[in-house]
Structure 1
Amino acid sequence: MIAVISGDLIKSQKIPQQEYDDMLYQLDQSLRFIASKFNGRFSVYRGDALQIQLPDPTDVCCAAVLLYLQLKSANYSLRQSLAVGNLDNPRADIKTATGSAYTLSGQGLDTMNQRLLLQIEHCPLDTSFALNIDLIDVLLDKMSQKQANALFYYLTTHNNSHSELAKELKTSRENVTKLLNLAHYQLIERFLNYSKHTIAQQLKGVTT
């Protein structure tokens, strides 16, 4: 089984024409980072829409949250439909790949009204897991650009002590701590660890 993320930028049609190329560049760079970190593959279509294929389905929430934070750091907002399922027909260009992971992810994007949605084939989400995703959705929605940037660096930097992050972000340690606290960084970090464990456990139930 694999994971697929289908997503699009929110209100991208309102981006001024002179800023559109910058938006496409930022989207491409963010997707390249996620693909490299999680050994995934991606495709961009219709300008502001994307798909990512991940070989390890337990990474899907981590990848989605990091992608959201990186784009939010550039002042773009993203909605993402996450799905775990089968890959029936692998393709070099993932736009032409087929399988239940792609079907569920695409259908979810067409009907969702939040920023984050997860579906697992043949396995309804545990109630507590679904609630956690809804809560993370709210936290991401309320996060400021600076908070998202600090949290992204915290989650992706090897030495993520607040003093080291302050050097990276060219600000004070106190300000880094304030931004991370406002971003509820400990809750989100706990959720990412929880999501990997929970998806792995749910997939055991599907395959046994």
Structure 2
Amino acid sequence: MIAVLTGDLVDSTAMPAKDYQCAVNIMNDYLAKCQTRFAAKGEIYRGDSIQLIFKQPQHAMRAAIELRSLLFSTDATQAPLGITLSVGLGEQLIDGNKPSVSQGSAFTLSGRGLDSTPSGHISLHHEGGAFYDALVLATQFLDNVLYSHTQKQARVLFHYLSMNFPTHTQLANALSTSQQNVTKHLARIGADLIKAYVVFFEEKLNKESD
């Protein structure tokens, strides 16, 4: 089993050219980091869409949350950047160097899932059984929490995940703020529950992919 993460920028055609370029740059930079951190393969296509293949599927949802938070938290654009994201769990029948030349159920599930995902939200799609149905439901709760975050909260969450759940002091140093401020933000974004979801997702899918 692999995971495919597919995403489309929200209202990209209506963005000022500067904001659009900023969004593309963020996606390109994050794609490169995923290639190093998770050994993922990916590309940007159609100008405003991104797709990543995770041979280790447990990393896909962390990447989805990070990418959404990273785009939304930027203060370099006139308005917050949104992205619609779909994770598909399935097989890869044709293994290409890029998603565009690869095929399999994971790609179909991710692509079709993106079409049915509300704008700016995250969804999970699979071809498994009852366990994955429960994981889809948990992901819907996660998405509801993420969608309520402010830009400042999204920035804190991105660093919290990308630093792999650091201490409040470590996170405060990374964000150049106080520990008290970090603790307040983490409590308000439901960081403990988000961490529990990510850890559960990664542990269970790691076993499934062995």
TM-score normalised by L of structure 1: 0.88
1:165 aligns with 2:160: no
Give the partner amino acid of 1:192. Answer: V
Name 1:78's counterpart in structure 2: 83
| Deviation of the 1:85 alpha carbon | 1.1
Give the partner amino acid of 1:35. Answer: Q
Alpha-carbon contact 1:40-1:54 (below 8 Å) kept:
yes
Q: Identify the range of structure 1 (122-131 vs 45-54) with the bigger mean alpha-carbon deviation.
A: 122-131
**Using a 3 Å threshold, how does the CA distance of structure 1 residues 125 and 13 change in structure 2: closer, same or farther?**
farther
Alpha-carbon contact 2:2-2:89 (below 8 Å) kept:
yes
Alpha-carbon contact 1:34-1:67 (below 8 Å) kept:
no
Q: Deviations over 1:37-84 (max 9, x none)?
A: 211011111111111000112222222112222222223222111111
SS at match of 2:47: coil
Give the partner amino acid of 2:202. Answer: K
Alpha-carbon contact 2:88-2:110 (below 8 Å) kept:
yes
Any stretches of 5+ residues in structure 1 without a counterpart? none
| Deviation of the 1:98 alpha carbon | 0.8
Distance 1:69 1:12 in 2: 17
| Deviation of the 1:197 alpha carbon | 3.2
Alpha-carbon contact 2:10-2:82 (below 8 Å) kept:
yes
Q: Deviations over 1:110-156 (max 9, x none)?
A: 22226121122243554542321111101111111111111111222
1:129 aligns with 2:135: yes
Any stretches of 5+ residues in structure 2 without a counterpart? 75-79
Which of 92, 101, 105 is 2:106 aligned to? 101
Name 1:177's counterpart in structure 2: 183
Alpha-carbon contact 2:7-2:84 (below 8 Å) kept:
yes
TM-score normalised by L of structure 2: 0.88
Alpha-carbon contact 2:156-2:182 (below 8 Å) kept:
yes
**Using a 3 Å threshold, how does the CA distance of structure 1 residues 134 and 151 change in structure 2: closer, same or farther?**
same
SS at match of 2:5: strand
May I ask how many residue pairs the two structures share in their alignment?
A: 204
Name 2:68's counterpart in structure 1: 68
Distance 2:167 2:21 in 1: 35
Alpha-carbon contact 1:163-1:173 (below 8 Å) kept:
yes
Name 1:142's counterpart in structure 2: 148
